[in-house]
Amino acid sequence: MPTPIKWRVNAVEVVGHLSLLVTFNDGTQGRVTIAPQWLTGVFADLQQPDMFKAVFVEHGAVTWENGLDLDPKSMYDAIAAHGHYNIV
């Protein structure tokens, strides 16, 4: 049986304005915070609170209804090292 990839996201929860709590395959958990100035171009939709709150996990990645997703490996590396991942 193959070893599970530890940086696959198992769960995501909105915990504040532009802030998520993410849990990975291996139990690692941490906060992801997105800076408002980052929400431009294709990410501008996430400025809408209802759109941001519609986050879910698909194929091990944090994803939104409009098809946007966050790189789970980058999040995992930062959270494992620092307990949080800031997108600025």
Residue 2: inside a domain? no
pTM metric for this prediction: 0.91
Tens place of pLDDT for every residue, the chain, 88 residues?
A: 666 788 999 999 999 999 999 999 999 999 999 999 999 998 999 999 999 999 999 999 999 999 999 999 999 999 999 999 999 8
Residue 70: inside a domain? yes
pLDDT for residue 27:
96
**How many domains in the chain?**
1
pLDDT for residue 3:
65
pLDDT for residue 24:
97
Residue 41: inside a domain? yes
CATH code for position 60: 3.30.2020.10
Q: Which two tokens stand for residue 21?
A: 């709590």
pLDDT for residue 26:
95
Q: What is the domain extent for residue 73?
A: 9-87
Q: DSSP letter string over 4-72?
A: PPTTSEEEEEEEETTEEEEEETTS-EEEEEE-GGG--GGGGGGGSHHHHHT-EEETTEEE-TTS-B--H
